[in-house]
Amino acid sequence: MPNKREFERRRRQLMRIMGDDAVAILPAAPEQRRSRDIFHPYRQDSDFFYLTGFPEPEAVMVLIPGRAHGEYILFCRDADEDREAWDGARITPDGACQDFGADDAFPIGDMDDILPGLLEGRERIFYAMGREPAFDRRVLDWVRHLKDHGEGGHDAHEVVALDHVLQDLRCYKSAAELRCLRRAAEISVQAHLRAMHFARPGRMEYEVAAELLHEFHRHGLEAAYPSIVGGGGNACTLHYIDNQSRLQDGTLLLIDAGCEYNHYAADISRTFPVNGRFSREQQALYECVLAAQEAAIDTLRPGAGWNDAHAMVVHTLTQGLSDLGILNGPVDELVANQAYRPFFRHRTGHWLGMDVHDVGEYRVDGHWRELEAGMVLTVEPGVYIPAGLAGVDERWWNIGIRIEDDLAITADGYDWLSRGLPRTPREIENEMARSRVA
């Protein structure tokens, strides 16, 4: 996990961008109700955690560049003996200073009395308007109070999108962040192997999903997103998470799953035969997707355009589908007409970090962004042929394949974070054969 110095470096980097006439306000994520008086397990807002490392709800971070009494202020819950007897110990304002580097910390209940005064003399407020409507109203009330009472020193306060500024900072991962991402990938690889060894004809998708969770929980971690465990035709539904069907002999199983380690996510997909052996059609399509992934990964280097990998996947998949007789016509014409779209509906990848689909622009000034060292992304081509797809021979029906890996851009190429999980048909069949002997 990044240490206190790294969180301090991030805050200072943000304050340099803000300037001395500004203030930043960022609330923690609210708790989310599951039912009546039951709440979902708490997960901190990614931007809030990125700047503070503070893990609890009911907190607000304020950054005030140049403030003589300290630039980093944290409002958080005060001690409450009764609630702590039910919910466990809290981080108090004293703990916020001692353990999380706050220059000043105050009880969250005093925020309405203290925070408006901290806005005095500041022209710009960096705040993510629209994310938490209830908190938006409080911020606007504070600004309105200053304006009505002439305490702000200015007729108006400009609200600047804090999340837009942070997304560019978060796009470049530090060494500490890369260690977290690598560890998340390593544990996720072990979970995929466990699921691969467990899967058999007759077992339920949710049983396989339980094996993934067992491996995550064995390391004290949670899933970064609901696991996709789709057998047969279910693999053709891109975000299939019901996981309620029985695995059938002769079908493929697509698993898309990853854990979260210290707030950093892995996102890995593999597709393999439930009975341990690819059929001829399954292997042919699988090798088509594998060739597309390898071609895409070969494009990754600093200076390459974000879309280069996707363009390579589109061409390679289209060529493969043409070679198999699933598409007919000149490949360049098929690409231009997007004839591949019924079989490959999504992009080739996305940024990866504290969020599975992490923040960061894909285009800059109308052009595809260039890759730079420190960026982390997924590469995930796929082919999906549901039953009844018009113009496709039924021997290809109900085959859904996705191969996804996590990669970090380095100074001279890339670092394969999710290395170690079988990818080729032979590697997969050999791995499954070993598990059946055991």
Residues 6+ apart with CB under 8 A from 15: 24, 63, 65, 71
Residue of 16, 345, 357, 436 marked active site? 357
Q: How is residue 438 written in tokens? A: 């055991």
Catalytic, out of 380, 405, 406, 414: 380
According to the 3-state scheme, what is the secondary structure of 393-422? CHHHCCEEEECEEEEEEECCEEEECCCCCC
Active-site residue (options: 16, 40, 164, 239): 239
Active-site choice (11, 170, 263, 402): 402
Tokens of 239: 């975000």
Residue 357 annotated in active site: yes
Identify the active-site residue in 104, 267, 308, 406.
267
C-beta of residue 272 within 8 angstroms of C-beta of residue 252: yes
Please say whether the beta carbons of 184 and 224 come within 8 A: yes
134, β-bridge pairs:
none
The 3-state DSSP class for residue 425 equals helix
295-300 contacts: CB < 8 A, separation 24 or more? 296/348, 296/349, 296/379, 296/381, 297/379, 297/405, 297/407, 297/414, 297/416, 300/371, 300/377, 300/379, 300/407, 300/409, 300/413, 300/414
CB neighbours of residue 180 within 10 Å: 22
In the numeric block, which tokens belong to residue 243? Answer: 């996981």
- Cβ-based neighbour number of residue 409 at 10 Å: 22
User: Following DSSP, what letter does each residue of 163-213 receive, concatenated?
Assistant: HHHHHHHHTS--HHHHHHHHHHHHHHHHHHHHHHHH--TT-BHHHHHHHHH
Rg, the chain, Cα only: 25
Pick the catalytic residue from 350, 369, 419, 423. Answer: 350
Name, in order, each residue with C-beta under 8 angstroms of 287's C-beta and a sequence gap of 6 or more: 320, 425
Which of 84, 87, 146 is closest to 115 using CA atoms?
146
CA distances from 90 to 47, 49, 349 (A): 21, 17, 39
User: What's the rounded Cα separation, in Å, for the pair 162 and 175?
Assistant: 24
Of 369, 401, 404, 112, the C-alpha closest to 285 is: 401
Q: Which residue has the tokens 């996102």?
A: 267
404 is catalytic: yes
Q: Is 402 a catalytic residue?
A: yes
Question: Is 350 a catalytic site residue?
Answer: yes
Q: Which positions are annotated as active-site residues? A: 37, 239, 256, 267, 346, 350, 357, 380, 384, 402, 404
